[in-house]
Amino acid sequence: MAGALSCGFSFHHASFPLFSQKNQSKKSSLMFWSGRTADFRNNASRKPSFLDQILDYIEGGPKLRKWYGAPDLLPNDGSITGDEDNPDVEEVRDAILVTDGDSDIGQMVILTLIVKQMRVKALVKDKRAAREAFGNYVEPMAGDANSKMFLKKSLKGVRSIICPNEGFLSKVDSLRGVQHIILLSQLSVYKGANGIQALMKSKARKLAEQDESMLMASGIPYTIIRAGALQNTPGGKKGFSFKEGSAEKGSLSKEDAAYICVEALDSVPQTGLIFEVINGEELVSDWSQCFMGLMEKAARRLG
């Protein structure tokens, strides 16, 4: 299997062995991925995809959690008990907040975070659907992002934010306490659109510009991933290209994009990092080294 991401996926394959295909009926409750996983599972001769294995892992329950050393689950209602509303209690910031958790790529990010055994909070429109999809591995949050009370609750215990789509950052007034924000931006794609496509994407372009501007002025370390056009193709099949200007016309698998967002959590820039990425020929075996190289390249460009 070619491509840098395949190296990362192989790591997960080594850590999480191929699970059996039993409990087929239960997977229908995973409504976020039911349509897509059905396509893979109807072909018995086909090797389970990376995301199928993650779903199997989620459904393994307490037994698998003990095997893999996963943290304790949240209560059944998805809430955190104890000192949640006590402002005098010093909070531990160890959670990753995923905005737009209902979206395809938001779900991919969440699944990848679960496999990495991270504490996950997600902004969703339907908490019940999120619980049915991810069980107690995710703390779903539903509400108005413009509400200071809701935002404060959502950010409680949050170390980093992953924004898989534009539109969240420009709505919020304060992100106090957050240590790193990762934004998956389609701004390069929007700028490259012409004619009717440019008109159709004008609102999305405005949101992307607002989010990027807000992030760069926030004073919080940030990573802006300007991806090419996002495609519903399997990840881990190709390499990458980080050339400036490539995102305007190139494309990137959504699965690859989600994986890069999660890998960026381990490489926090001093101030900010902006780079473009599409699927290409460059193989990446070490994402920490890759991000370090991108930071050094950005520093030379500014210097």
| DSSP string for 54-88 | HHHHHTTHHHHHHHHTPPPPPPTTS---SSTT-TT
pLDDT tens for the chain, 303 residues long, are 343 333 333 333 333 322 223 333 333 333 334 333 333 223 334 455 555 555 565 555 443 433 344 444 555 544 444 444 554 455 789 999 999 999 999 999 999 999 999 999 999 999 999 998 898 899 999 998 888 899 989 999 999 999 999 889 988 888 989 999 999 999 999 998 888 888 888 888 999 999 999 999 999 999 999 999 999 999 999 999 999 999 999 999 999 999 999 999 999 999 999 999 999 999 999 999 999 999 999 988 876
Contact 16, 115 (CB under 8 A): yes
Burial class (CB in 10 A: 0-12, 13-18, 19+), 36: middle
Helix (H) or strand (E) holding 120: strand 119-123
Cβ burial of 216 (10 Å; 0-12, 13-18, 19+) is middle
**CA 72 to chain centroid:** 22
Q: What is the pTM of this model?
A: 0.76
- Amino acid at position 138, single letter: V
Tokens of 232: 């519903």
**Residue 45: what residue type?**
S
- Rounded CA-CA distance 101/259 in Å is 15
Domains, the chain: 4-74+93-302 (3.40.50.720)
